[in-house]
Structure 1
Amino acid sequence: MTRLAPPPATAAPPRPARRRARWPLAALAALLLAAALIAACVGAAGVAPADALGAIAARTVGGTSPLDPIGDAIVVDLRLPRILAACAVGAGLAVVGVVMQALVRNPLADPYLLGVSSGASVGAVLVLVSGLALVLPLAAFAGGLLALLATLGLAAAAGGATPTRTVLSGVVVAAAASAVVSLVLFWRADGDAYREILAWLLGSLAGASWQTAPIALAGLALALPLLASGRALDALALGDSAAGALGVDVRRTRWMLLVACALVTGALVSVSGAIGFVGLVVPHAARLLVGAGHARLLPVAALAGALVLLVADTVARAAFDPRELPVGIVTALLGAPAFAALMLTGRVRA
């Protein structure tokens, strides 16, 4: 009786892909904490790191703050909510950028592709010219949601929410909303209202407070399901036919992810305005660190986006004291050369 030979020994499995993402995650987390501490300390009123940490600890767990009441208020009531808002907005925009680029299979996709930011701009501009700035986040979110419904409705009416139809519908809605914003600016905006509108349209976190920062954090919480969509995004990146063969309900998954992206973007934009380049450039930069697998890419992009926007906002706030730049100008100044460098090195291909 012939004895069957044992199966050949297999080579040791390659190092799990998750390990490849551990060092970028750890490095980005450490850099983010350092950047947050620096942001809490720098500004017109400089604060020592130990004093800033002591003031935050005293407010959160109790005790005596090492700072006087004015310094304590600057760190805890002005800078800390702005830091949290910057991290939440940056992380959320980067995650949405990754998802949008996978859904429409376009390296130029960003969180504003569906016209959400333009719709939010309409809502924000209308309340600012009416003197109702207190309801600005709500109005901006409502405008973004209406823009989403218009985009998806137009795509469905044109034959279905395929990547191409969705992109084209977003372009149409964004153009219409931009025209409304321009018309309102031309007829109604003047003086302080014009300056507030301009700052919001350029993107700014100057208005972040303990009333608005939770909105940005809620937007980031809405992005948590997107962080778990790595396998579906990997399948969709192969094309609809391949994704269907792998068991993905392409139509249902795409609609759910598009709606989630728009809701997250609307919540974030309602706090910060339309901050460009974070959701476009950060996903491409994150791919350089961990590759194209979305399970690894999404958390790395979230941390990188938070770090980039926090640094940009700190520069916008402190580098040109006593004047403050809208952070959207800083992200554009940094993002445009970075994206050009990625293109020239072949890291971004259409």
Structure 2
Amino acid sequence: MALLSSATGLRISAICFALMLLCGALAVAASVGETAIPVQTVMDTIANHVWHAGRDVDPIDAGIVWNYRLSRAVVAASCGAALALSGVVLQALLRNALADPYLLGISAGASTGAVSVAILGLGAGMLGLSLGAFIGSVLAFAFVTLLSLQAGRGTGAIILAGIAGAQLFNAMTAFIVTKSASAEEARGIMFWLLGNLSGVRWPDVWLALPMALIGLVVCLWHARALDAFTFGQESAASLGVPVRRVYILLIGVSALMTAVMVSIVGSIGFVGLVIPHAVRFFVGTRHGMLLPLSGLIGALFLVGADVLSRVIIPGQVLPIGVITALIGAPAFALILCHGRVLR
């Protein structure tokens, strides 16, 4: 009992520490930019808007913090958490260390769906970007699943099918942009596809943040089922897990989280691949601990990547997907070389 209590206390302490780091990162992200704003001004601005504290803050600084930087930071955190959670779920359900929304073509399908709605006007105005992205992500994953089943049941089949599916949907996106978009639209969309938080505002927060929180709650509710899936579907069924229902639900939640984030910020790679492995390296494979910490570290990672994208080249903002790839690829190579990936 004492050992269980100690483990629970350690788990709560780790989550609280990661949460405090995330809050600090959000404050720093809201203060960094072309115009440097003190963190105290950021805190005063938040207090004025949330608690009507009446603190004396320069209106221009307050407008920059509240209307631009803070909303951008919150969306970055939501996106990082959602992608990391999707990576954890896909790696457990598919029992493959390389499974993540980007490699399985889910992000590419979501991009195709969003671009089809935005440029081709599919749905005659009845489909929003998020719904179009969700439909595209589901179609992409269905294609990848069917192709992997046709190719064979080896652990690498779904990854190879995912690479093929991602290339196919990326090609479709490029074809739509090249054929139907104006030069200005094409430039904006190609920049968006690499990950772009420049146009994010508070309405995007009210879409991204609830989606990430709902996804976290659903995944945590099925943490024990995910533990069982780690040993295979037959083992999960023998432990009383309703395999088909849980599989469809969690795949659907992962696809929906990915689609919503892609519709807002574009396609961002390596978050869903690297973060779960990095967290698993320290806390093990139990999903009751792995899920919340992966969400928090994923949020922290993407907020940090967004800050880097704004300061690494003075006067220019890099696509955030470039930063995640520059950090994520070496990090995953390091994890791979140490052999600490899920077998």
TM over 0.5: yes
**What is the aligned partner in structure 2 of residue 27 from structure 1?**
17
Counterpart Cα distance in 1 of 2:49 and 2:117: 34
Closer/same/farther in 2, CA of residues 254 and 238 from structure 1, 3 Å limit: same
Instruction: Give aligned-pair identity as a percent.
Output: 38
Aligned to 1:4: none
When residues 228 and 162 of structure 1 are mapped into structure 2, their CA distance, relative to the original with a 3 A threshold, is: farther
Cα deviation for residue 49 of structure 1 reads: 1.5
Separation (CA, whole Å) in 2 of partners of 1:339 and 1:121: 24
**TM-score between the two structures when normalised by the length of structure 1:** 0.86
Partner of 1:296: 289
Q: Is the 8 A contact 2:92 2:230 kept in 1?
A: yes
CA shift at 1:59, angstroms? 1.5
Letter in 2 for 1:226: C
Tell me how far apart the structure 2 counterparts of residues 326 and 249 of structure 1 sit (CA, whole Å).
Answer: 41
Alignment of 1:271-282 (within 5 A): 271-282=264-275
Name 2:232's counterpart in structure 1: 239
Q: Which is richer in helix?
A: 2
- What SS is found at the alignment partner of 2:268? coil
Match of 1:316 in 2: 309
Contact 1:24–1:289 (Cα < 8 Å) also in 2: no
Spell out, residue by residue over 1:85-136, the C-alpha distance to the aligned partner (whole angstroms, 9 max, x if none): 011111111111101000101111112355332222123334554699xx8x
Q: 1:263 aligns with which of 256, 265, 287?
A: 256
What does residue 7 of structure 1 align with? Answer: none
Q: Relative to structure 1, is the Cα distance of residues 150 and 282 closer, same or farther in structure 2, using a 3 angstrom cutoff?
A: closer
Equivalent residues of 2:309, 2:319 under 8 A apart: yes
**Secondary structure of 2:211's aligned partner:** helix
Distance 1:162 1:81 in 2: 43
Tell me, yes or no, if the aligned pair for 1:86 and 1:306 is still in contact at 8 Å.
Answer: yes
Q: 1:104 to 1:239 in 2, by over 3 A?
A: same
Cα distance in 2 for partners of 1:13, 1:218 equals 35
**In the alignment, which residue of structure 1 is the partner of 2:174?**
182
Q: Does the aligned pair in 2 maintain the 1:114–1:148 contact within 8 Å?
A: no
Match of 1:200 in 2: 192
Q: Which has the larger radius of gyration?
A: 1
* Superimposed CA distance per residue, residues 294-331 of structure 1 (whole angstroms, 9 cap, x where no aligned partner): 11110110110010000000111233231100111001
Q: Secondary structure at the match of 1:100?
A: helix
Which of 185, 197, 209 does residue 201 from structure 2 map onto? 209
Conserved? CA contact 2:111–2:136, under 8 Å: no
TM, length-normalised to structure 2 = 0.88
Query: Structure 2 vs 1, CA of residues 15 and 218 (structure 1 numbering), >3 Å: closer, same or farther?
Result: closer
CA distance in 2, matches of 1:13, 1:74: 49
Match of 1:5 in 2: none
Kindly provide the amino acid, as one letter, of the partner of residue 182 in structure 1: A
Q: Structure 1's 285 and 38: CA in aligned 2 closer, same or farther, altered over 3 A? A: same
Letter of the structure 2 residue corresponding to residue 256 of structure 1 = L
SS across alignment from 2:128: helix
Q: Displacement, 1:21?
A: 2.4
How far apart are residue 191 of structure 1 and its match?
3.0
Give the stretch that moved more between structures: 256-265 or 111-120.
111-120
1:79–1:103 Cα change, 3 Å: same
State yes or no: 1:330 paired with 2:330.
no
Confirm or deny: 8 A CA contact 1:201 1:274 kept in the other structure: yes
The aligned residue for residue 341 of structure 2 is 348
Q: Kindly report the root-mean-square deviation, in angstroms, between the aligned alpha carbons of the 2 structures.
A: 2.9
CA contact (8 A) 2:113 2:137 kept: no
Task: Check conservation: 1:275, 1:328, Cα contact below 8 A.
Answer: yes
Cα distance in 2, alignment partners of residues 318 and 153 from structure 1 = 40
Partner of 1:70: 60
CA displacement at 1:189 relative to structure 2:
3.8
CA distance in structure 1 between the partners assigned to 2:258 and 2:64 by the alignment: 29
CA distance in 1, matches of 2:58, 2:271: 36
Residue 73 of structure 2 is aligned to residue 83 of structure 1: yes
The answer to whether the 8 A contact 1:90-1:302 is kept is yes
Q: Distance in 2 between matches of 1:40 and 1:151?
A: 36
- Per the TM alignment, residue 198 of structure 1 is displaced from its structure 2 partner at its CA by 1.5
Superposed counterparts of 1:130-169, under 5 Å: 138-149=128-139, 151-152=141-142, 155=145
In structure 1, how many angstroms separate the alpha carbons of the residues matched to 2:297 and 2:52? 32
Tell whether the 8 Å contact from 2:45 to 2:62 is kept in structure 1 after alignment.
yes
Paired residue type of 2:180: R
Q: How many residues matched?
A: 337
Give the Cα–Cα distance (whole angstroms) in 1 for the partners of residues 54 and 10 of structure 2: 43
- What is the SS of the residue equivalent to 1:32? helix
Looking at structure 2, the residues matched to 269 and 75 of structure 1 have their Cα atoms a distance apart, in angstroms, of 24
Are the counterparts in 2 of residues 147 and 173 from structure 1 also a CA contact under 8 Å? no
